[in-house]
Amino acid sequence: MTDKKRPTQQQQNQLWQDAYALAGKIGPRGTGTAQEAAAAAYVASRLQAMGLQVEIHTFPAIPSQNTFAFAINILALTAIILYPVGGAIARWLATLLALVAAPLLWQTIRSSDNALRFLLPKVISQNVIARVSPRDEVHSEAVLLAHLDTNRCRKVWASGTVKYLEPLTFLTLALLAVLGLIYLAGALMGGPAWTWWASLPLAGYVVGSLITLWLDDGTPFSPGAHDNAASVAVSLAAAAELAICPLEHTQVWLAFTGAEETDHAGLKTLLKKHNDVLRGATFLDLEGVGSGELVYLIEQGLCAHYRPDPELVLIAAQVSQEHLDLQVKPGEMTMEDETGTLRRRGYKALCIAGMDPETRSLPHWHRADDTVDTLSIEVMGRAAAFVTAFLRTVDKEARREKMVM
């Protein structure tokens, strides 16, 4: 694919078959569901057919992206109910609960996790991992990431409404912080009645948030053709080429992760199991590469924005210039993905994404119409060609660095 730049007709057919098998035949693949497990089994069989050894990780994961937010709002509501019960102990306990709500939400935004995790329900998810060894001695490691699970058809976390995400999140953070400060002032002053009355509008917001989150989790799972069947198909296409023509000195890990849509438990499990090898690896994360504009993201995230590894940005820019017909350019997006977990932990990572030029989000993001008929095999083919060219350039750079040393 690298030499020809574009996939052959046979390779294009395989891209379509893989995407259709996941988003068409298996369908919506919620975290911890039988459909997510079926997607993992399908990917494992495809990798084994390429002659690759497959490693399966199973792990507990949070069942929904709303689980953390729901628990935080329950915490805040408990504080509101407890505060007027009477007595200094009740006031100070309510104050403590109210004060930790905003920091817990900020922790969730930054890490897809928080300190309440041990109290929350779990489901079992899984990763599918394979490795393609290089032709010669291993000088470096590269990881190609694509997640297996799909999210629900969200009301706000969706293309078309993405512009409201940051304002609403900052508003929630601010109101939870104000609740804590009101109760702290009241506890220090001995509990004057006005402090509780002042918190009642905030109580209305918390109750409204709980209802919204509950209704949101009642929506169906998206078919996930773009997010993320297309990316899985592109990763499998890259795996097929690398299995036939491996890199010279770079071992490539094919990591198909579970629970990306909830708490990134799949990626965290991979890092925990193989951190000694992967600490210095190059991570290339694929998101929504089924249509739209192909971009390498130079800034992304929600509220707490993050940037990719600068060296990888330079490589992406170089590859895009060398292969202008692949039409890959820099971009920015309001989106949390596994790249954020990697960058905040100090790993070298970059996200390649498909971007809807109108919504500036992943195409059909978290929507019921994210179906296989909306995919562009031409875009997926360009994405596959870019990924393999990127990995081969990473391999050349690793070889050059080794020669200098």
Handedness of CA 157, 35, 231, 235 (dihedral sign): positive
User: What value, to the nearest 5°, has the Cα angle with vertex 29 and ends 27 and 31?
Assistant: 175
| DSSP bridge pairs for 159 | none
Residue 325, pLDDT > 60, answer yes
Q: What is the rounded average pLDDT of the residues 200-226?
A: 97
Q: What is the pLDDT of residue 155?
A: 86
**H or E element, residue 187:** helix 165-188
Q: What is the pLDDT of residue 398?
A: 77
Which residues, 6 or more positions from 17, have their beta carbon under 8 angstroms from its beta carbon? none
Residue 404, pLDDT > 70, answer no
Q: What is the pLDDT of residue 397?
A: 85
Q: What is the pLDDT of residue 156?
A: 85
Q: What is the rounded average pLDDT of the residues 109-126?
A: 96
Residue 380, pLDDT > 70, answer yes
Cα gap 336→334, rounded to integer Å: 7
Cα gap 352→95, rounded to integer Å: 44
Q: Under a CB-based contact definition with an 8 Å cutoff, are residues 351 and 287 in contact?
A: yes
Q: What pLDDT, in 10s, does the model give residues 158-174? A: 988 999 999 999 999 99
Please name the amino acid found at residue 167.
P
Q: What is the rounded average pLDDT of the residues 292-313?
A: 97
Query: 352: which 2 tokens?
Result: 């390649």
Helices (H), 254-372: 265-278, 310-322, 338-344
CATH class of 9-61+124-153+221-404: alpha beta
Residue 402, pLDDT > 90, answer no
> Is the pLDDT higher at 160 or at 99?
99
Q: What is the pLDDT of residue 290?
A: 98
The burial class, CB within 10 Å (0-12 / 13-18 / 19+), for 164 is: middle
**H or E element, residue 102:** helix 88-111
Q: Under a CB-based contact definition with an 8 Å cutoff, are residues 253 and 278 in contact?
A: yes
Q: What is the rounded average pLDDT of the residues 129-156?
A: 96
Mean pLDDT score of the chain: 95
Neighbours of 240 (CB within 10 A): 21
Q: What pLDDT, in 10s, does the model give residues 46-63? A: 999 999 999 999 999 999
pTM beyond 0.85, yes or no: yes
Cα gap 258→270, rounded to integer Å: 10
Q: Percent of the chain at pLDDT above 90?
A: 93
Whole-angstrom Cα Rg for the chain: 23
Q: What is the rounded average pLDDT of the residues 357-378?
A: 96
Q: What pLDDT, in 10s, does the model give residues 8-26? A: 888 899 999 999 999 999 9
Which residues, 6 or more positions from 57, have their beta carbon under 8 angstroms from its beta carbon? 126, 127, 129, 266, 269, 270, 273
* Confidence class for position 5, pLDDT limits 50, 70, 90: low
Nearest to 310 by CA among 341, 282, 345, 279: 282
All structural domains of the chain with their residue ranges: 9-61+124-153+221-404, 66-119+159-216
* Confidence class for position 372, pLDDT limits 50, 70, 90: very high
For residue 13, is the peptide bond before it cis, meaning its omega torsion is within 30 degrees of 0? no
Query: 60: which 2 tokens?
Result: 């507990």
Q: What pLDDT, in 10s, does the model give residues 260-280? A: 999 999 999 999 999 999 999
Cα gap 314→292, rounded to integer Å: 23
